[in-house]
Amino acid sequence: MPLSAPNRGASPWADTVTHVAVGFSQALLTDLDQLLPAGSVLVLEEPEVIAARDVEAKAHPCVAAVLAAPTQDEAQAERLIGLLRRPPRVRAVIPAVEYGVVGAAVLAHAWNLPGAGPAAARTLRDKIAMRTAAGTLDQPRWMVARSPADVEDFRSRHGGRCVLKPANRQASLGVQMLGPDDDAAAAWQRCVGADEPMLRASYALPGRYLVEERLDGPEVSVETLLHAGQAGFTNITAKSVQPGVNPVELGHVVPARLAREVAVELRGCVQELARITGFRSGLLHSEWILVRGRPHFIECAARLPGDNIDLLIDLAYGGRLTEDYLGVLEGRGPAAARPSRSAAAIRFLVAPAGQVLAVTGRELAAALPGISEVTVSVSPGTRIEPVTSSWTRLGHVTATGANSQQAEYRASAAAELITIEVDQELACR
């Protein structure tokens, strides 16, 4: 049912829908199946994405209907207000995917429901706008990049190193770490060519790009639930990334092992980030590099974290992060801070590009102590590409432990038992 005209007539879901999800997220809906009654969620998604992902064939008991709508028209997101009649029992609007953050904020604001706020959502969907707003936070030096020449110029003024990235993508797509000998023109072409046709509408805002200083230090993310601009439950996640040009995340550990003063400073930085962007209610998933122990702001998403970090938080703290998130978006008040009870870690699987010949070790990995999940997404005959974004990883191992060190060790040990044998000669054919 495309929303090409105002949805004024009675709909079969009108009396059952209590939550509107802007964007289709299989992981989120799986959670909502366990948290909400049948037929309570209305999903809005781009027609192209619905077709590309065969969304209507993916059944979820909580879903009342999937409606085609211009959810990624961020410049004119207010159009959604006139195209969708407010469900009479709606309690929350959920930004289910990165490209639905602005649309969700606009609908929540129009319907007088808690949310990020349209201005904050637009800032947090654009890394250039984020950098501009974050003047009171420590962050890398940066500039807008419009050509390879801009990349060369910036790199020459910052020790021959830089980071090149799109301003409005996700999942490390197009992000590259360049050194003195890397070809800036080739890197530029890879960056501007990076896209997600299964997830992103073809008409969506054109790409913008920035180049910034490379910082050295441990990387962390901070997951914070905020109510009316005030931070409540907060978790800090340690992350590791693969070396080389493409800094794709290879693992996460919850909670991060940090000195107390660093954790306190990170929490204060997130509160300041909410203040300067005007963020109101929801979840901030912010990323930071600790330079000599001091947090430097990298970027932030106004939605649930990816990479199964929400699951790691559930395993480490108990409870359900998604349920707490719904409570904030429904206006039930803040989600209180609480200590972790244990620890959890995830390790992602990667292999060289080529054709998969064999996959071994899954059963051995799953049998190790503390392993809660082993997933391998490839099998013999699968052609795999170089690992240049989160989407090109090949599976993962999740583990728990009494502390962060044990959980990380267990996840890494299990991942090392899984061998993905690849014929690399086929990568170039």
Q: What is the pLDDT of residues 406-419, one digit of tens each?
A: 999 999 999 999 99
Q: What is the DSSP letter of 229?
A: T
- CATH class entry, domain 346-428: alpha beta
Pick the CATH number of 141-212 from 3.30.1490.20, 3.20.20.70, 3.40.50.2300, 3.20.20.100: 3.30.1490.20
Site of tokens 């209507």: 56
> What pLDDT score was predicted for residue 380?
96
Q: How far apart are CA 32 and CA 60, in angstroms?
A: 9
Q: What is the mean pLDDT of residues 315-333?
A: 97
Give the 3-state secondary structure of residue 314.
helix
Share of the chain above pLDDT 90, in %: 88
336-366 confidence digits (pLDDT tens): 999 999 999 999 999 999 999 999 999 999 9
Strand intervals (E) in 260-406: 282-291, 294-301, 343-348, 354-360, 371-376, 383-384, 395-401
pLDDT bracket for residue 57 (50, 70, 90): confident
Mean model confidence pLDDT for the chain: 93
Where in the chain is CATH 3.90.600? 346-428
Show contacts of 216-219: CB within 8 Å, 24+ apart: 216/289, 216/291, 217/289, 217/290, 217/291, 217/292, 217/296, 218/289, 218/290, 219/287, 219/288, 219/289, 219/290, 219/298
Q: How far apart are CA 411 and CA 397, in angstroms?
A: 6
Q: In this structure, how many other beta carbons lie within 10 angstroms of the beta carbon of residue 341? A: 11
Q: What is the DSSP letter of 67?
A: E
Those residues whose C-beta lies under 8 Å from the C-beta of residue 337, and which sit 6 or more positions away, are: 232, 233, 234
How far are the Cα atoms of 17, 44, 56, 142, 149 from residue 59, in angstroms, in the given order?
16, 15, 7, 44, 49
Q: What is the DSSP letter of 205?
A: P
Residue 428 has pLDDT above 70, yes or no: no
How does 227-247 read in b/e, with b if 16+ C-beta sit within 10 Å? beeebbbbbbbbbbebeebbb
Q: What is the mean pLDDT of residues 73-99?
A: 95
Q: How far apart are CA 33 and CA 39, in angstroms?
A: 10
Residue 202 has pLDDT above 70, yes or no: yes
The dihedrals phi and psi of 427, each to the nearest 5 degrees, come to -65, -25
19-113 is a CATH 3.40.50.720 domain: no
Where in the chain is CATH 3.30.470.20? 219-341
Give the 3-state secondary structure of residue 193.
helix
Q: What is the mean pLDDT of residues 297-325?
A: 97
> What are the start-end ranges of the H helices in 126-183?
127-133, 148-156
Question: Rounded to two decimals, what is the model's pTM?
Answer: 0.94
> What pLDDT score was predicted for residue 72?
92
Pick the CATH number of 219-341 from 3.30.470.20, 1.10.150.120, 3.40.50.300, 3.40.50.1820: 3.30.470.20
Radius of gyration of the chain (CA): 21
Where in the chain is CATH 3.40.50.20? 19-113
Q: How far apart are CA 43 and CA 66, in angstroms?
A: 5
Q: How far apart are CA 69 and CA 121, in angstroms?
A: 19
Q: Taking the CA atoms of 191, 192, 193 and 197 in sequence, report the sign of the dihedral they define.
A: positive
> What pLDDT score was predicted for residue 281?
98
Residue 3 has pLDDT above 70, yes or no: no
pLDDT bracket for residue 93 (50, 70, 90): very high
Those residues whose C-beta lies under 8 Å from the C-beta of residue 26, and which sit 6 or more positions away, are: 58
